[in-house]
């Protein structure tokens, strides 16, 4: 199971927290797997490796560190395996001092194992077990990973978080102790605190020095430091100083960003509060940080933020869970006493959330038992609470786009290989010339700093920074800027329906009540546009439907105002009824042991249609449960005939209510009417009731499933949920751009299909098919039967599965199917568990997912990612938190704290933010690639210039180096990313990887063109009669050949700014980036001045020697301009047209034919299924055949 932010599910350690333990006997060849365990932590599977530190290994490690002047220690800091191999010895977990934690993303963390021994006179340690009991110990071994404490269980050979065992304890163990009103003793509190730590989410700010050290110890900062040291030793102080300033600024910004993030999270967590608890039978006031599991907390009457997760022991509580769900709707929590009876094997799970109060939610109101305070039993504290999980998900986000990091490493490796060739050539050449060792070291190392530019990471981040700035101007805020580049690869956009695609509120459309015809059969009345009993009586409708609309809700009056679900508020307002919450009095509670009832009164004009007392009392409420798809209330309706007459009113989904009603009370055309409204996009609420004769005590204790059975159907309430004005336009924009749009909603399947048709997710030119399952029919393998039907405007037609599958193009290419599919959550669950062979294909083809629970939404996002899709998720925060967090790019339209789980938050509450995020992501992505190409081309161009001059015994002057590195390169690279995103989304996505053939053809091709440009200029100048040979001294950089090479290369540098500033289709034209144009113009003008004038100041500053021939200056200009022109043609026509389009498509098709694992699974699926949905039946048949054959 997964721990989601909205739907808490704790792991079952028998399967979820599985351990694969091996002893040394299992490894006769000396393998070390005996030191490995496996642990599922939330959504991740981590491998744990046990190690012990020995004296010999420690001495060896520090000796190696000293001998390498600290280099080995630095490498061991970067590569954990180097640290492990030398310093630690693998052992079993029983004897380990350290544990290496390797998560699913490959991130390795070394944690120390601590042992705490109970000293004489101290309380024993107690730790929970799986059966809900406590085990006494005199010592514990533990380590802390990502704020959670894991304790070693010797018998089970497992590392376990004690809070997880509490969370999966038998539910009866909590229910049975609900009567405990004494609380914990002092010794028990101390013992538990030693196991669970304090109940606090307070985050200590990391010292700035620690943040700075971690930042500057990254490989690129270390490389920059070495480069700067080399430049200072070579008297290249100006540029070195500039790099120092940029580096210090970059590091300072990183430190500031990290500290700001920590402060923001700490502010979100809030301060501790004072709570009232019961210990040893006495009520005492303590700081919330002192709470431990199984403490009994006494809840205040209102306005209280819960400091922990707890179970409600008695009374009723109304809370606002907006912090967790993003939905500011009061939720009613029932006490453990109202929980249904369950067996000993039933564990505490999300099914019991209606009894659970979560940390961080706001207590709005408590309703007391007579003379008793409302109490709750603490079950989770600190970072084990639901809010703690949310905070940890922010503190430890999953790595973003690891492929980009790998590509960057490969890119640096390619440049490094070129640098090593130059390094070797320089060393050999200088040794042959018998140069000094210092010159050889400085000049050869200088080659590496030229080819691998230290400023590359900073230059590549410019595009992301500018994109983030533009998004802020559009009121889209990003908490994780590194996610922006990933947004440029989005090819699947998922949307919640209500509040995202459609308006937040619902409008009452009509009521279809039920009447009895002359044959005694139920039938629907005509549509009623209001809840007027007089009009309903005219068609002899059951007037209880109005009572159901007015009473079956979870609304509550807080500070004099009604609060609750907007839909319920609309119905109550439409009915005209009033709601009063009675005051506490003996008369109102003496007949039943329950909370005070809510009193409902019809409007005076409707008095003739109701009993003489004109009021109804709600004595019990069964809150809405998404799994049950319904809610109900028990209404006291005393009459002169019976003092104990009550009615049960239930409302919920049409399918669920129909299954609970007596068949004779349902109209014959029930499902036809339901489907008719659903296909028109209306939201339907079915209501039913039944009369019961029992006393209050019995009514309160009767199980919910009994009270909600054998109901009488009353009618359908039809609500309208309109599309937002912008929705259709945005969906069309995304669809035209070949970005697949997916609806993920909790609504009815047919309603979702109708809205999907209306907003364009289901395209008007395509057929739509519904995948459903049978609850009763099974196939030969005992699996629920699946059906696929074509969805049309008024009915559904079964597909002719006997027809032949249309042949599709044999040429391997990615096809756009001519149909779309839809599925409901229950059917998706059936496919997940019973038809795993279909899951990937269904995930790739279905565009509408209805009746999806919060955890199913997150599972769907994971399934899409599994088949290689880059997924965005846009939701308003209501039940979308887990999906927002799981997506590559989660975009929240909610301002609630739950939106922190999403990297993007839009202040504009519609989906117009989605294409904007994708546009800016594409712009940032191609800008990063363009800057990479630009920096690589500049480095190789400068490398070539230096190698030519080294061959001639000279070098570029410091002035020339400074002009190239600082003015030409740094300024251009900084403003190259200022070009804005294109206004239109292109149908073809940008390259998703840096390591593509077009990228390397571009970089290496430009190197070849540089050679074809600089070498002729070098040769022509040397062949002139007026050419003065270079002095013999290597450090003499004021040379004629150096001047000529500089003139030629400068135009190439400037030309690269145009070549790599491509606009369409992902960015705007370079001419919209007026700062870059101005810089290019000014630098170009300066280049012309330096070439065609002999200003002594510039000659001395740049280290020029006058070229006496004006004709030669013109020749150098023509050579450089020709080089720029040819480079432009090469990049635009050869690289972008031939390589990027034809050659890469050829390679892709070839990989598809060979079923290459590098091709995303969804592309293979789309190729294999063709344009007919008959693959569905074919796959089931093939799987059944293979299974039956294997059994034979």
Active site residues: 496
Q: What angle do CA 1080, 1086, 1089 make, to 5 degrees?
A: 140
Cα separation, 177 vs 61, in Å, equals: 55
In the beta sheet, which residues pair with residue 742? 494
* Count of CA atoms in the C-beta half-sphere (13 A) of 384: 28
Q: What is the 3-state secondary structure (H, E, C) of 80-110?
A: HHHHHHHHEEECCHHHCCEEEEECCCCCEEE
**616-625 and 114-117 strand pairing:** unpaired
Assign 3-state DSSP to the chain and report helix, strand, coil percentages, each to 5.
Answer: 45, 20, 35
SS3 435: coil
* Token pair of 106 as six digits: 């490959």
Cα separation, 256 vs 1096, in Å, equals: 46
CA quadruple 820, 823, 827, 828: dihedral positive or negative? positive
CA separation (Å) from 417 to 420, 424, 939, 1019?
5, 11, 13, 27
* Count of CA atoms in the C-beta half-sphere (13 A) of 791: 29
Across the beta sheet with 796-798, the strand order is 476-478, 904-906, 889-892, 871-875, 492-495, 740-744, 846-850, 819-824, 767-778, 784-791, 796-798
Of 330, 367, 365, 317, which Cα lies nearest the Cα of 564?
A: 330
Answer whether 746's CB lies under 8 Å from 626's CB.
yes
Phi, psi of 630 (to 5 degrees): -165, 165
Cα separation, 747 vs 753, in Å, equals: 10
Which residues have C-beta within 8 Å of that of residue 21, sequence separation ≥ 6?
Answer: 34, 37, 157
Long-range Cβ pairs for the range 574-583 (8 Å, 24+):
574/508, 574/530, 574/531, 574/549, 575/531, 575/546, 575/549, 575/550, 575/602, 576/531, 576/602, 576/603, 576/606, 577/550, 577/551, 577/601, 577/602, 577/603, 578/603, 579/555, 581/556, 581/557
Phi, psi of 90 (to 5 degrees): -65, 135
Burial class (CB in 10 A: 0-12, 13-18, 19+), 360: buried
Cα separation, 1061 vs 1064, in Å, equals: 10
Which segments within 223-373 are labelled E, that is strand?
A: 274-279, 282-287, 296-298, 304-305, 309-312, 316-320, 330-333, 356-357, 362-367
Of 305, 390, 328, which Cα lies nearest the Cα of 881?
A: 390
Of 1141, 835, 1140, which Cα lies nearest the Cα of 999?
A: 1140
DSSP string, 36-53: EEEEEETTEEEEEEEEEE
């Amino acid at each position: 199971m997964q721990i989601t932010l909205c739907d808490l599910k704790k792991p079952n350690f028998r399967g979820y927290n599985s351990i694969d333990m091996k002893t040394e006997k299992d490894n006769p060849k000396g393998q070390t797997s005996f030191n490995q365990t496996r642990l599922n932590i939330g959504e991740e599977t981590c491998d744990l490796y046990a190690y012990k530190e020995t004296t010999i290994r420690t001495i060896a490690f520090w000796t190696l560190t000293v001998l390498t002047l600290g280099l080995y220690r630095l490498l061991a800091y970067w590569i954990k395996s180097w640290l492990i191999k030398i310093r630690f010895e693998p052992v079993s977990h029983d004897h380990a001092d350290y544990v290496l934690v390797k998560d699913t993303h490959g991130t390795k963390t070394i944690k120390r194992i601590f042992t705490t021994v109970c000293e004489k006179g101290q309380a024993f340690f107690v730790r929970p077990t799986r059966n809900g009991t406590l085990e006494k110990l005199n010592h514990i071994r533990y380590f802390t990973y990502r704020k959670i404490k894991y304790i070693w269980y010797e018998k089970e050979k497992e590392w376990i978080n004690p809070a997880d065992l509490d969370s999966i304890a038998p539910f009866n163990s909590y229910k049975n102790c609900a009567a405990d009103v004494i609380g914990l003793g002092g010794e028990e509190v101390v013992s538990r605190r030693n196991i669970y730590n304090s109940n606090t989410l307070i985050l200590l700010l990391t010292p700035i020095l620690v943040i700075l050290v971690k930042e500057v110890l990254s490989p690129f900062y270390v490389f920059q430091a070495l480069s700067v040291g080399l430049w200072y030793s070579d008297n290249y102080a100006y540029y070195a100083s500039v790099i120092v300033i940029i580096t210090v600024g970059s590091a300072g910004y990183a430190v500031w960003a990290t500290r700001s993030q920590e402060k923001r999270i700490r502010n979100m967590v809030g301060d501790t509060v004072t709570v009232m608890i019961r210990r040893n039978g006495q009520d005492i006031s303590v700081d919330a940080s002192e709470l431990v599991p199984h403490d009994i907390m006494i809840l205040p009457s209102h306005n209280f933020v819960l400091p922990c997760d707890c179970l409600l022991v008695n009374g009723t509580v109304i809370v606002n869970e907006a912090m967790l769900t993003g939905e500011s709707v009061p939720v009613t929590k029932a006490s453990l006493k109202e929980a249904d009876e369950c067996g000993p094997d039933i564990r505490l799970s999300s099914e019991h959330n209606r009894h659970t109060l979560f940390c961080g939610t706001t207590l709005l109101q408590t309703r007391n038992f007579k003379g008793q305070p409302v109490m709750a039993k603490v079950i989770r504290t600190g970072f084990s609470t639901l809010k703690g999980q949310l905070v940890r998900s922010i503190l430890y986000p999953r790595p973003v786009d690891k492929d980009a990091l790998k590509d960057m490493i490969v890119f640096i490796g390619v440049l490094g290989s070129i640098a090593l060739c130059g390094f070797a050539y320089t060393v050999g050449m200088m040794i042959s010339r018998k140069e000094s060792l210092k010159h050889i070291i400085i000049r050869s190392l200088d080659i590496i700093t030229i080819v691998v530019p230290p400023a590359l990471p900073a230059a590549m981040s410019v595009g992301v920074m500018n994109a983030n700035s533009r998004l802020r101007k559009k009121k889209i805020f990003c908490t994780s800027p590194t996610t922006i580049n990933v947004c440029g690869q989005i090819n699947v956009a998922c949307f919640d329906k209500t509040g995202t695609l459609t308006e937040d509120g619902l409008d009452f459309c009509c009521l279809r009540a039920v009447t009895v015809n002359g044959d005694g059969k139920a039938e629907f009345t005509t549509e009623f546009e209001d809840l007027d009993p007089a009009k309903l009586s005219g068609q002899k409708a059951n007037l209880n439907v109005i009572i159901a609309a007015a009473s079956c809700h979870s609304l509550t009056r807080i500070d004099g105002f009604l609060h609750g679900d907007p839909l319920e508020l609309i119905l109550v307002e439409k009915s005209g009824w009033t709601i009063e919450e009675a005051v506490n009095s003996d008369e109102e509670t003496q007949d039943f042991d329950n909370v005070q009832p809510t009193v409902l009164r019809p409007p005076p004009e409707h008095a003739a249609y109701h009993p003489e007392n004109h009021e109804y009392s709600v004595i019990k409420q069964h809150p809405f449960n998404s799994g049950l798809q319904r809610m109900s209330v028990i209404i006291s309706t005393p009459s002169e005939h019976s003092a104990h007459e009550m009615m049960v009113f239930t409302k919920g989904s049409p399918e669920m209510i129909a299954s609970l009603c007596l068949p004779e009370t349902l109209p014959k055309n029930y499902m036809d009417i339901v489907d008719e409204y659903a296909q028109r996009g209306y939201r339907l609420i079915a209501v039913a009731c039944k009369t019961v004769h029992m006393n209050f005590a019995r009514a309160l204790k009767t199980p919910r499933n009994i009270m909600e059975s054998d109901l009488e159907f009353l009618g359908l309430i039809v609500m309208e949920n309109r599309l937002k004005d912008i929705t259709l336009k945005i969906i069309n924009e995304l669809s035209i751009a070949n970005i697949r749009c997916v609806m993920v909603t909790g609504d009815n399947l047919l309603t979702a299909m109708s809205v999907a048709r209306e907003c364009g997710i289901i395209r008007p030119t395509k057929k739509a098919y519904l995948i459903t399952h049978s609850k009763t029919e099974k196939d030969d393998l005992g699996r629920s039967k699946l059906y696929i039907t074509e969805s049309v405007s008024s009915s559904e037609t079964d597909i002719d599965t006997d027809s032949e599958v249309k042949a599709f193009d044999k040429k391997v290419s990615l096809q756009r199917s001519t149909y779309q599919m839809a599925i409901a959550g229950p059917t998706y669950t059936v496919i997940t568990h019973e038809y795993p062979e279909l899951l990937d294909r269904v995930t790739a083809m279905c565009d509408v997912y209805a009746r999806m629970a919060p955890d199913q939404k997150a599972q769907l996002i994971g399934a899409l990612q599994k088949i290689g899709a880059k997924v965005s998720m846009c939701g308003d925060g209501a039940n979308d938190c887990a999906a927002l967090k799981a997506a590559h790019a989660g975009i929240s339209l909610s301002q609630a704290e739950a939106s922190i789980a999403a990297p993007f938050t839009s202040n504009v509450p519609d989906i117009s933010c989605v294409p904007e995020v994708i546009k800016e992501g594409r712009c940032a992505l191609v800008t990063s690639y363009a800057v990479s190409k630009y920096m690589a081309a500049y480095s190789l161009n400068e490398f070539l210039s230096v190698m030519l001059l080294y061959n001639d015994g000279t070098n570029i002057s410091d002035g020339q180096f400074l002009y190239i590195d600082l003015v030409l390169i740094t300024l251009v690279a900084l403003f190259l990313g200022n070009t804005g995103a294109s206004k239109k989304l292109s149908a073809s996505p940008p390259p998703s990887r840096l390591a593509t053939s077009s990228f390397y053809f571009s970089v290496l091709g430009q190197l070849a063109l540089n050679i074809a440009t600089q070498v002729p200029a070098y040769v022509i100048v040397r062949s002139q009669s007026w050419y003065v040979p270079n002095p013999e001294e290597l450090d003499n950089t004021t040379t004629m050949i150096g001047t000529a090479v500089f003139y030629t290369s400068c135009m190439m540098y400037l030309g690269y700014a145009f070549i790599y500033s491509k606009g369409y289709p992902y960015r705007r034209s370079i001419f919209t980036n007026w700062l870059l144009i101005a810089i290019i113009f000014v630098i170009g003008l300066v280049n012309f001045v330096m070439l065609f004038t002999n200003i002594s100041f510039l000659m001395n500053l740049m280290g020029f020697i006058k070229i006496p021939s004006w004709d030669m200056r013109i020749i150098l200009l023509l050579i450089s301009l020709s080089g720029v022109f040819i480079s432009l043609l090469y990049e635009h026509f050869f690289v972008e047209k031939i390589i990027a389009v034809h050659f890469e498509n050829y390679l892709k098709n070839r990989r598809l034919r060979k079923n290459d694992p590098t091709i995303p699974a969804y592309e293979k699926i789309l190729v294999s299924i063709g344009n007919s949905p008959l693959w569905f039946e074919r796959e089931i048949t093939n799987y059944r055949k293979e299974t039956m054959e294997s059994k034979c």
